[in-house]
Chains A and B, each alone.
Chain A
Amino acid sequence: METIINLIQIALLAALINNFVLHYFVGICPFLGVSRRVDMAVGMGCAVTFVISLAAFLSWTFTYYLLRPEAPLPAWIWKLVGGSADAKIDLSVLSYIMYIFVIASSVQFVEMYLRKFFPSLYKSFGVFLPLITTNCAILFACLEIMKQLQNPNELWGLHEALTLAVAGGIGFTIAITLMAGLREELDLCDVPKPFQGPGIALVIAGIMAMAFMGFTGMDQGVKNALSSLLH
């Protein structure tokens, strides 16, 4: 039960309170670039959610087994070559290049697969895939997971990493869809000349970010409510 409450808290934090776009300001380029029409925005959001989940799965696996300070694979090799027990091998310097490499090649693979077997799906969101391959929102999720794997006492499991990724992707979808809805309405408005285009879009994004600050503390409230419900 504790685990599920914990997962709900992680999901709420990633999707609403610490929304990737509106709290950390990562993934701004697709947020501004593809938010002109609602259907495109939803497609982009789905693509980001998919890629972020794939990236989280891969980065958690690589970090857990290879890149974190207490990773089993380097320790095993160290023992194999006869190293002393008190020295440790730390490969975390490789994390950035490893994430980018693994995410880029796996997304490339998925894109080819989609193109061959699901042409209609490829047509509707395949164009977004190469765009978001090494998007900062994706790398941010990977680094967030890496951060949670540094402390050996509170290691994140795969389920927690995936929850963060999926919820983060949903949060991105919510933000970009709301933005697209606003911008569609904006087409009918008399925007002053200097604000037209990216200017008013950034102003709107700022106001939306302030509105999303209203969710702060909601995770604690939901957690308390769920705990009191259970006990």
Chain B
Amino acid sequence: MLTTTTITILLAAASLSLLSIVAACILGWANRVFYVHVDPKVVAINNALPGANCGGCGYVGCGEYAEAVANKKAPVTLCGPGGASCAAALAEIMGVEVDATYPYRAAIHCSATWKERLGRAEYHGEMTCAAANLVGGYQGCTYGCLGLGDCVRACNYDAIHMIDGLAKVDYSHCIGCRACENVCPRNIISMIPFKSDRMLVVACSNRDFGNDVRAVCKTGCIGCKRCAQKNDLIQMNGNLPVINYDLYQPDADYQPIMGNCSMESLFFIGKPTPKDLAAVADEEMPDRIEADFKTTVDDTEWRG
């Protein structure tokens, strides 16, 4: 005898199973009919890319860059975080030859800390470089670092820090994603190809004449042109020397050129040399606290 309960259970089971069979058929059919062919190259390139989605290549994410490479609209060497190995992997997938590529890293073209540059008016506005740059009159040099840390906040890799009001790049963390370059309102950050561990850079962006520079900064380039003599590497652009990194030789010794600089606005960045490390070896460093991922159990003993 069929009761209401039995028929309810039967009907519930029947309607749901019927519905799931129908839906499975429709979706299975749709999956076949609406199949979208994806280029296997795009998938392979996507797997070879680091997947950081940093946007350093100029595309929205790794997926879009992979598509552009597969369609031959972009060169295989654009990925900064992936570096040479990634470029080689992409070149193999695409079947193209690739020259030696160098990782691009951020270089800061300013060397003046709070002490070395002239401050003008007191500033109480938004503590961002973008705002301070709009207001003007905050500091004497209208070209140099403002020290309010827009680049620090833009960096997702903890690779840039404000030290005495000057941005310093930590090259063990920098991946060359260009986030800081894009955000700097004064355009003093540029990407340079790291052909060797240590690279020579012009650490000043001031285009004014020597006297005007000296009035606002103790370390700025005064445009004496001594570094540009007797070599092709450095050209003068107005009052400011510019290094042509295409001519930069990875194993050449550029120490003499640096020694020529009468100010302190031409120096090496990158990994510290053994000499530099030895110089600070006996200085006391704070203990670095490393995260311990072995356990989540807190076995601190509380006393008192």
A and B found bound together = yes
CB proximity of A7 to chain B, nearest CB, Å: 30
Asked whether, in the complex, the Cβ of A116 is within 8 Å of the Cβ of B34, the reply is yes
- How many interface residues does A have (CB within 8 Å)? 29
Across-interface contacts of B2 in A (CB, < 8 A): 81-83
Chain B residue contacts of A101, Cβ below 8 A: 16, 19-20, 23
Assess A112 versus B30: contact at CB under 8 Å? Given A78-B7, A89-B11, A98-B16: yes
- Residue A91 lies at the interface, judged by CB distance under 8 Å to chain B: yes
Contacts of A89 in B (CB 8 A): 4, 7-8, 11
Q: Taking CB as reference atom, which chain B residue is nearest A94?
A: B12
Enumerate chain B residues within 8 angstroms of A97, measured Cβ to Cβ. 16
Is A98 within 8 A of B31, CB to CB? no
How long is the Cα–Cα vector from A112 to B23 in the complex, in angstroms?
Answer: 14
Contact of B4 among A83, A105, A190 (CB under 8 A): A83
Total count of chain B residues near the partner, CB < 8 A: 23
The answer, yes or no, to whether B36 is at the interface (CB within 8 Å) is: yes
Instruction: Find out whether the CB atom of B15 lies under 8 angstroms from the CB atom of A91.
Output: yes
- Residues of A contacting B19 in the complex (Cβ-Cβ under 8 angstroms): 98, 101-102
- Nearest CB of chain B from residue A82's CB, rounded to whole Å: 8
- Chain A residues contacting B11 (CB-CB under 8 Å) are 74, 77, 89, 91
CB of B298 within 8 Å of the partner chain? no
Q: List 26 A-B contacts (CB under 8 A).
A: A83-B2, A89-B4, A89-B7, A91-B8, A91-B11, A91-B15, A94-B15, A94-B16, A97-B16, A98-B16, A102-B19, A102-B23, A105-B26, A105-B27, A109-B26, A109-B27, A109-B30, A112-B30, A113-B30, A113-B34, A115-B36, A117-B34, A119-B36, A188-B128, A190-B126, A190-B127
20 additional A-B pairs beyond A102-B19, A112-B31, A115-B36, beta carbons within 8 Å, are A66-B15, A77-B11, A81-B7, A82-B2, A87-B4, A89-B11, A91-B12, A94-B12, A94-B15, A101-B20, A108-B27, A109-B26, A109-B30, A112-B27, A113-B30, A115-B34, A116-B33, A119-B36, A188-B126, A188-B131
